[in-house]
Chains A and B, each alone.
Chain A
Amino acid sequence: MPLLTRVYLKSAFIYLALSLALGLLQALPSPYAPAFLRVFTPVYFHLFLVGWVTQMIFGVIYWLFPIITREQPRGNERLAWATYILLNAGLLLRVVAEPLTSLQMGGAWSGWLLAFSALTQWLAAVLFVIISWPRVKDRFHGKAGKNAAT
């Protein structure tokens, strides 16, 4: 399992735990759960669906999809790491900026931070598709192509 996949999967488990913990806090009855936790509902969903589900998928695809060449089996490794960094930076920025924006506590900068987090997550998705698209193919048959393997 490549290092990037291990990092993706470990991060995904952390996000799963965080999202479930947040869901638990939100489920507490009113004397125990502060009212402001209600604004965390979109954060809860996205910690689960982006942090856990999508990140798990990205990591497993990077690991298991057919390789491109022996020399560069999973394509451009720097772009793959950039995808991971952009996705996680964007998601963590969202976790901070979205509640601040909803509670009107962060001023204008929290709004711009939220917009920036949207941009970084979008870039991560685009980069992921760019690096994964060539790997949606029949299995690797060696340099000389399919006939060499048969």
Chain B
Amino acid sequence: MPPLSQWMIRAAFIYLILGFTFGGLLLGHKGVPFHPALWAWLPAHIEFLLMGWIVQLTLGVAFWILPRFWQEPRRPKAGWAVASFVLLNVGIWLVVAGTTGQMGRWWLVAGRVAETTAVVFFARHAWTRLVSREGLA
């Protein structure tokens, strides 16, 4: 497993715990109310689990297992994937700041721009690796 995949998967694990922690508190509060302000955490719960956990884990595993080239560099254009990792995580926190953090709509917009760019960058990296064993695109 290459280092970038390790970083992405470990980050996804951290988001899994964050997302389940927020979700657990929300669910607990639904059963036994203890703080009404908890509902503001719902967007963070969703963001951490959908983008931080599921999307990031998927990209991390894809970087690891998609077909590699026979010659070095075996995972070409890896810089796009590294940029994707950084942008995705910046985007997640911008979205959380703009929603749960109530920093304003433009934080949310900036976060979504970062996340979209992250996915486009990753696709840019992965595109050349989506080939048959004979190298057919």
Inter-subunit contact A136/B1 (CB<8 Å) = yes
Complex A-B, nearest 3 residue pairs according to Cβ-Cβ distance, in ascending order: A114-B31, A125-B20, A118-B27
Q: Which residues of B contact A137 (CB under 8 A)?
A: 1, 6
Task: Give chain B's interface secondary structure class.
Answer: helix
Contact flags (1/0) for A100-130 with B, using CB distance below 8 Å? 0100000000111111011101100110110
Give the chain A neighbours of B28 by CB distance below 8 A: 114-115, 118-119
Return the chain A residue nearest B49 by Cβ. A49
Residues of A within 8 A of B32 (CB): 111-112, 114-115
* B interface, CB within 8 angstroms of A: 1, 6, 9-10, 13-14, 16-17, 20-21, 23-28, 30-32, 49, 53-54, 57
Task: Kindly count the residue-residue contacts between A and B in the assembled complex, taking CB atoms under 8 Å apart.
Answer: 70
Tell me the dominant secondary structure on chain A's binding face.
helix
A98 pairs with B54, CB closer than 8 A: no
Count of chain A residues near B, Cβ 8 A: 31
Contact surface of A with B, Cβ cutoff 8 Å: 49, 53-54, 57, 65-66, 94, 97-98, 101, 110-115, 117-119, 121-122, 125-126, 128-129, 132-133, 136-139
